[in-house]
Structure formats: structure tokens, C-alpha cells
Amino acid sequence: MIVSTLGFPRIGPRRELKHSLERYWAGEIDQAALQEDALALRAAAWARQHGLGVTHLPSNDFSLYDHVLDTAAMVGAIPERYGWDGGPVGLDTYFALARGTAGLPALEMTKWFDTNYHYLVPELAPDQEFTLATTKPLDEYLEAKSLGFQTRPVLLGPVTFLLLAKSSNGHSDGIRMLAGLLPVYAELLRRLEAAGADWVQIDEPCLVLDLDDRARSAFRLAYAALAEASAVKLLLTTYFGALGANLDTTLELPVAGLHLDLARAPGQLADVLEKAPAELALSLGIIDGRNVWRTDLTAALTRLEPVLQKRGDEGLMLGPSCSLLPVPVDLAIETGIDDELRSWLAFAIQKIEELAILGRGLTDGREAVAEELARSDAAAAARRSSPRIHSDAGTARLKAVTPEQTKRPNPYPVRREAQQATLALPSLPTTTIGSLPQTAEIRSARAAFTSGKATVEEYESFLRNETEHAVRWQEEIGLDVLVHGEFERNDMVQYFAEQLDGYAFTQAGWVQSYGSRCVRPPIILGDISRPKPMTVAWASYAQSLTDRPMKGMLTGPVTMLQWSFVRDDLPRETVCRQLALALRDEVRDLEAAGIRVIQIDEPALREGLPLRAADRPDYLAWAVECFRLASSGVADETQIHTHMCYSDFNDIIEAIGALDADVISVESARSHMELLDAFETYHYPNQIGPGVYDIHSPRVPTAEEMRDLILEAAKRIPANQLWVNPDCGLKTRSWYEVKPAVANLVEAAAEARTQLA
């Protein structure tokens, strides 16, 4: 039985790649040393996977930064401004594309489908020509071969590459360029074949999206051409969803094998079995490559055995649902979790062990793996019945939720008057999004506290001091609604997760977010509840320092869900409701403590949107309901804010309206208020603060330019609905940027008030 991984995490079990990259960028090691470290990581990954029983080892799954960028470099899709000479793409050019240079911004970055991994968006010129500029897939294939490993090179498929790319002039579309791109892929395949490659894995995750006829014909055209180009066997890999309406097209493609995601889309197996030609090899993505839970092996075998009977073992392969990129490397080096939780989890290495067991169970029968199955059964049973997972009180509370609890007692116009009476804000009120600069002193004070070098008292007195300074500064420059600065928070999700029951945390569970940046998502393992208030003490302290309204700051339920590893034994929407109830209690406690403005951040609401249009209304309905459940338990006088940061929210504008937050702040400075186009047709009923200060740039905007942005906004949205604020939190900026920028923002609001009066 062929066992494969589709791709292995590239960052290294202890983030070795991150450390090498950062040393290279800092000039501490040279190119040769970086390449040597990278080779060591690849060699270790091959040896490890081989040792665990993987028979189709991936190569070219490694990347120094991002595999989509690698593909752009491979085909010579490098915008002119980077000054590439047409030869092999050197590291300087590569990292300029990835990270920018002093005078040159990096390529745009965006989320890889619905994961939290970010790729660099290839940028194609209208007259883009492609050449085989870099032979990385071939080089790494040969490198593995020289180490004694026969590998299956992984390529990002040509159609997905073009569909993910954007054109530099905004007019032409990628598919148009397919004919020019195919010869490059054809040449590469020929060279891989000549070098000895037997199978090549070609990733086309766009096959799980809604495609039009044009895109479907592009797939037909592309794979006909590639089949003709070489005799290498292509495994067409699809993941992150079901093929759905693209199934028939996919089954017509002249490829040797097809990979299916059976974790996200288990239901598609029956259809595929019915329709797939007998000679098509099927790669079954039976193990969830996106989550950290141990697989129920008996259940998996029960699903696999009939497939084996039907198709025989010749044409079957086993794999994770997708590349193992979204999961941490090795549970064995994890020290942050208890033994019970450990027995319920599987990281990349453990998932490969599971695949190997399933492979043996299929070929040699269940008896051959009886012990492993018994252990898996025991873990599954223990997890199902553990009191850590289920709380009767929690279930009862969820059941008792009424529709009234998801509605504010009165409609917005009534609330608006009540809020104006207590808050007495000027027109175009000014505020910030919550966090203020996280300085080196703050980080080292936190490190001293967490490592036990500083006492709670010392740490908290330091934080109180920072908060007080921040409040004084905000009063001085004249902001209307103040924030406490979030100095006590390590991260907007982790800070809350650490105070909620139902969450667990890892020490070593790093996954790549982009480039050298890694995150350690917390794990939701059981029912969520809030043992005690989480933010009330800091909010009350900050409010006690000033007469101006102090915003209480919370992370919303959808964002908490989206940025965690979520338990797989409950629907996501149920977990989200539990989070919403915990936050609802927090909101009410803040109100009871005298906080009159409460912001519930939902930056991840948009990215939770399902890949298929048909699934979106359902998601938006429960996501909106969860936000409302969290936010609606307060009186009319209490002003609820929310914040979102992405520029393309036009397609979910109605859902944003349905949140019924009194005030929403959104990112828009970078796109020059493009988002306001949505308001030409949609009349947003409540108040909105389109960001006028692009906090992602170190540039300090002038008062005039921000005033002009406000006036621009006032053309589409009545001025009495507008707020003035930055795009996002200020934690990544320095005080020397933030101080003048926010002072200018206050001045801009004042000028705009006079002009609009």
C-alpha cells in the first residue's frame, strides 16, 4: 500500500528554519550556511518520513519562504520593478519579492484558501512571458536521490497558480496566460522524468472551488498538454473540500492518480467510487491534515476496507487530507501538555504513524495491527467520556439560549439617543482600535514575569504605569473614546483562551503563518466556560484614571474559533456559541463595572467564509448570531463596537450590518477607501469608522491627508454616522510614529468637523 504525506511541515520541529532565516536576514550567516541548514532540514524530513513508512516521499514541499512564491520564481513571473535579469532567481531577488526592500514593497500576501497560512500573490504582467527560470523541483528531486531517497516531487499546478495570481494592470486574467505557461511545466516534467521521477504530485486545490466553464476547460487543456509532454505519472491532488460540480471534469483529466480530501469532504468518496475509471489510482486523504486530533483508526479502517475490496490495492494510496503544513511537527517533543491530552492528539509525525498503521491494517488485516487499534479505540473512548470534554451545565445553558438573547432590547435609533445622552460625544468622534505600542520594555517585563524573575506585583505595577501614561497621552491629544492599550496581552486570542476553561496550550506546537513567522494556535479541547471575569480589572483601572469613556476590549467568538485548533467532536458553530456565551458574561460584567463602550473584535469573521458560495449563508448566519449572542446582553446606553481588518468586505456587507454593532471600525486607508464603494448601494444603518491611518506602514500621515479621507468618506456615508480612527491596533508600531500620527488624526477630525459643519 502506498503511503504518502503530500507535504511535510518545512519550518522544522524546533523552528530551525525560522532561526536560520532570521540569522541570514540579520547578516549573521551567509547564503551557503542558510542553504546548508535548509538541506539539513530537508534531509531530516525525508529520513524521518521514510523511517516511519512513507513510500511516496514528497520533495519540493520545502520552501525558504513560500511555495507559491517558489512557483512564481520557477516560471519567471517576477515583476519588472524587482530588476530580475532573466537568469536563475537569486536569493536577493527572492527575498525582495517575499519581504520587500528599503525602496520596494514585497508582493501582496493573502490567506491560502481557508487556512491561516499566507502565500505571496504572484503578479503577472499583461504580456507576461514564462520561462523555466529556476529548477528547484528538479534540484531537490536530485538532492533527495543523491541521499538515497526516491521522491515524488510536489508542484503547484498551472491552473491553480494562474487562478491565485493577480495581474499587474487589474484587467487581464490569469487563465488567458495558460498557453504561455504550459510549455514551462511540460519542460519541467520532461526533465523530472529524465532524472528518474516516476510520480509527480501536482496540486490543484482550486478544483474544490466554484469554477466557471472557462476555468474547467483550462483544466482540460492543461492536463491534456501535460499528459502529452511526458510519461511521468501525475497524481492530481485536490484538498480543502469536495470536487462537487467539478468532479466530472476532474475525472476526465488524463492523469494517473487523483487525491481526495476525505476529512473535509467525506461524502465525495461514494461519488468518486461510482464514477472513477478503474485505472485511475485513488489517493485517499483519510487523516485530517488540518487538525491536531488523533484519528479513530478503527473507524478509518471501516471506511477504507470496502474501498480496498472494490478497487484492489494496486490503485490505492493513503495520505493525509492535505499537506501536513498546517500542523505542528512532533508531539513527542511537546512538553506543555498533560498525558491525558497527549493521548488524544497527533501532530505531523504521529499522523504519519497513523497512516502507516492503516496501510498495514489494510494489506495484512486488522489482526496485524490489533494492538495499535486497541490503543486508538481506548483513546477515542476516553476522550468521548472525559469530564474535561463535556460539561452538563454548559450544555444546558446552550440549550436555554433564546432568540431574544441575540437581539438588543431596542433598535439602533433608540440606542443611539440613549448613548448620546450618556457619552455626549462630538460629531466625528475619535478613537483607536485598542492596542498601543508593545515596546521592548513591555516584552521583557512580560518575559521576566513568565520566567519567574519578576513577581506579579512588580509586573502589574509596571503595567499600571504603562496604562496610566497611555491614558494621560490620549487625554492630552484629545481623543474622545480612550483605550487602555492592551499592554497586559500577549496575543488577542491567547490572552482570553488562557482564562477560559476548555482550552489547552502547547509549548512546541508551532505552525507556519508566513515566511519565518509561526503561531502556536491554542487548542479547544472541551466545552468552553469562563470561570471568572477576564478583563474587568484592567478596564476598570483604566476607566478610574479618566472621565472620558474608556473602551473595554474583547476578542469576538468567531475570531477565537478561527485562530484556534478546534475540537472535532462538535460542530464548529456549537463551539462558537459556547465562546459567545462566555464573552456575553464578560460584556455584562464590563457594563456592570461602569464601562460604557465595549469593543468586540472580529478580524477573522471574513476569513471564516466557506470556499463554496453555497455554504456561505449558513456560516454567516451562525457567525452573526454568535456575535450577537455575545454582544446583546447590555442596555441601550452601552455602546457596542466591533472591528474588522481586511479591505474586501464588500461581499459580506449585509452580514456586517446584521451584527448590529453600534459602531464598526474597518481597515480602509491602504485601499484609499475603496471599501466605501459598498456603501453606494448598501446603506449602513449604524455608525462606522473607516480607518484613515494605515498602521501597516511606518509612514506618519499628515492631518491634511487624513482630513481628506474623512471628507471622502463623508461623500458616501452621512457625517453623523462617521467615526475617525486608525485601520487597526497600534501594537506593532513605535511610539515615535504613533504619537504624531494619532495627534494628526485628532486634528484631521477637528478640521473635518469645521468643514462639514
Q: Give catalytic residues, as residue numbers.
A: 696
Describe the crossing of helices 67-74 and 136-146 by its angle, rounded to 10 degrees. Answer: 110
Shortest distance, CB of residue 479 to ligand GLN, whole angstroms?
Answer: 14
Residues 6+ apart with CB under 8 A from 731: 435, 436, 437, 438, 486
- Tally helices (H) and strands (E) across the chain: 27, 22
Shortest distance, CB of residue 663 to ligand GLN, whole angstroms?
Answer: 14
Q: Number of residues in contact with ligand GLN, rule: CB under 6 A?
A: 13
Within residues 627-666, the interface with ligand GLN by CB under 6 A covers: 643, 645
Shortest distance, CB of residue 585 to ligand GLN, whole angstroms?
Answer: 19
Shortest distance, CB of residue 598 to ligand GLN, whole angstroms?
Answer: 12
Q: Number of residues in contact with Zn ion, rule: CB under 5 A?
A: 3
Report the residue from 152, 551, 731, 733 that binds ligand GLN according to the rule CB under 6 A. Answer: 731
Q: Which three cell numbers stand for residue 228?
A: 502529452
Q: Which three cell numbers stand for residue 291?
A: 487538525
Residues 6+ apart with CB under 8 A from 75: 130, 131, 132, 133, 161, 181, 184, 185
Shortest distance, CB of residue 732 to ligand GLN, whole angstroms?
Answer: 9
How far is residue 53's CA from residue 355's CA, in Å, rounded to a whole number?
9
How far is residue 175's CA from residue 159's CA, in Å, rounded to a whole number?
7
The residue among 158 and 603 lying less far from Zn ion, judged by its C-beta, is 603
User: What is the DSSP code string of 332-363?
Assistant: GG--SS-HHHHTTB--HHHHHHHHHHHHHHHH
The residue among 572 and 641 lying less far from ligand GLN, judged by its C-beta, is 641
Shortest distance, CB of residue 555 to ligand GLN, whole angstroms?
Answer: 8
Interface with Zn ion, residue 272, by CB under 5 A: no
248-259 as b/e: b if 16+ CB within 10 A = ebbbebebbbbb
Shortest-Cβ-distance residue relative to ligand GLN: 729
Helices (H), 451-556: 456-477, 494-497, 536-544
Query: From the list ligand GLN, Zn ion, none, which binds 434 (C-beta under 5 to 8 Å, kind-based)?
Result: ligand GLN
Shortest distance, CB of residue 756 to ligand GLN, whole angstroms?
Answer: 27
The residue among 57 and 645 lying less far from Zn ion, judged by its C-beta, is 645
Query: From the list ligand GLN, Zn ion, none, which binds 694 (C-beta under 5 to 8 Å, kind-based)?
Result: none
Do 72 and 148 contact (CB within 8 A), yes or no? no
> Mask 546-585, x = binds ligand GLN (CB under 6 A)?
-------x--------------------------------
Burial zone of 730 (CB within 10 Å; 0-12 exposed, 13-18 middle, 19+ buried): buried
Interface with ligand GLN, residue 729, by CB under 6 A: yes
Shortest distance, CB of residue 501 to ligand GLN, whole angstroms?
Answer: 23
How far is residue 416's CA from residue 419's CA, in Å, rounded to a whole number?
5
Interface with ligand GLN, residue 741, by CB under 6 A: no
Q: Which three cell numbers stand for residue 186?
A: 511540460
Q: How many CA atoms lie within 13 A of 642 on its CB side?
A: 23
Do 175 and 214 contact (CB within 8 A), yes or no? yes
Residue among 148, 166, 183, 159 at smallest CA distance from 57: 148
How far is residue 52's CA from residue 318's CA, in Å, rounded to a whole number?
14
The residue among 487 and 510 lying less far from ligand GLN, judged by its C-beta, is 487
Report the residue from 11, 159, 356, 492 that binds ligand GLN according to the rule CB under 6 A. Answer: 492
Interface with Zn ion, residue 379, by CB under 5 A: no
Query: From the list Zn ion, ligand GLN, none, which binds 528 (C-beta under 5 to 8 Å, kind-based)?
Result: none
Do 485 and 507 contact (CB within 8 A), yes or no? no
The residue among 132 and 605 lying less far from ligand GLN, judged by its C-beta, is 605
Shortest distance, CB of residue 666 to Zn ion, whole angstroms?
Answer: 9
Residue among 510, 198, 559 at smallest CA distance from 328: 510
Interface with ligand GLN, residue 197, by CB under 6 A: no
The residues pairing with 728 across neighbouring beta strands, listed in sequence order, are: none
Query: From the list Zn ion, ligand GLN, none, which binds 492 (C-beta under 5 to 8 Å, kind-based)?
Result: ligand GLN
Query: From the list ligand GLN, Zn ion, none, which binds 13 (C-beta under 5 to 8 Å, kind-based)?
Result: none
Residue among 651, 652, 649 at smallest CA distance from 691: 649
The residue among 524 and 598 lying less far from ligand GLN, judged by its C-beta, is 598
> Mask 644-663, x = binds Zn ion (CB under 5 A)?
-x------------------
Query: From the list Zn ion, ligand GLN, none, which binds 435 (C-beta under 5 to 8 Å, kind-based)?
Result: ligand GLN
Within residues 709-728, the interface with ligand GLN by CB under 6 A covers: 728
Shortest distance, CB of residue 106 to Zn ion, whole angstroms?
Answer: 20
Query: From the list ligand GLN, Zn ion, none, which binds 205 (C-beta under 5 to 8 Å, kind-based)?
Result: none
The residue among 537 and 614 lying less far from ligand GLN, judged by its C-beta, is 537
The residue among 63 and 555 lying less far from Zn ion, judged by its C-beta, is 555
Within residues 427-446, the interface with ligand GLN by CB under 6 A covers: 433-435
Do 331 and 342 contact (CB within 8 A), yes or no? yes
**Residue whose C-alpha cell reads 521583557 in the numeric block:** 444
How far is residue 207's CA from residue 215's CA, in Å, rounded to a whole number?
9
The residue among 204 and 486 lying less far from ligand GLN, judged by its C-beta, is 486
How far is residue 57's CA from residue 5's CA, in Å, rounded to a whole number?
7
φ, ψ of residue 259 to 5 degrees: the values are: -100, 135
Q: Cα torsion at 600, 603, 606, 610 (round to 10°)? A: -90
Shortest distance, CB of residue 69 to Zn ion, whole angstroms?
Answer: 25
Q: Using CB under 5 A, which of the segments 218-226, 496-504, 603-611, 681-689 binds Zn ion? A: 603-611
> Mask 591-610, x = binds ligand GLN (CB under 6 A)?
----------x-x-------
Q: Using CB under 5 A, which of the segments 180-188, 248-256, 637-645, 679-687 binds Zn ion? A: 637-645
The residue among 515 and 726 lying less far from ligand GLN, judged by its C-beta, is 726
Strands 639-644 and 663-666: parallel
Q: Using CB under 5 A, which of the segments 175-183, 506-514, 677-685, 724-732 binds Zn ion? A: 724-732
Query: From the list ligand GLN, Zn ion, none, which binds 553 (C-beta under 5 to 8 Å, kind-based)?
Result: ligand GLN
The residue among 553 and 669 lying less far from ligand GLN, judged by its C-beta, is 553
φ, ψ of residue 677 to 5 degrees: the values are: -55, -35
Do 586 and 634 contact (CB within 8 A), yes or no? no
How far is residue 195's CA from residue 187's CA, in Å, rounded to a whole number?
12
Report the residue from 695, 728, 741, 742 that binds Zn ion according to the rule CB under 5 A. Answer: 728
Shortest distance, CB of residue 675 to Zn ion, whole angstroms?
Answer: 13
Distances (CA, A) of 79 to 126, 454, 571: 11, 50, 44
Q: How many CB atoms lie within 10 A of CB 538?
A: 22
Query: From the list ligand GLN, Zn ion, none, which binds 523 (C-beta under 5 to 8 Å, kind-based)?
Result: none
Do 89 and 73 contact (CB within 8 A), yes or no? yes
Q: How many CB atoms lie within 10 A of CB 731?
A: 21
Residue among 509, 487, 494 at smallest CA distance from 443: 487
The residue among 433 and 709 lying less far from ligand GLN, judged by its C-beta, is 433
φ, ψ of residue 653 to 5 degrees: the values are: -55, -35
User: Which positions lie near ligand GLN, rule CB under 6 A?
Assistant: 433-435, 486, 492, 553, 601, 603, 643, 645, 728-729, 731
User: Which positions lie near Zn ion, rule CB under 5 A?
Assistant: 603, 645, 728
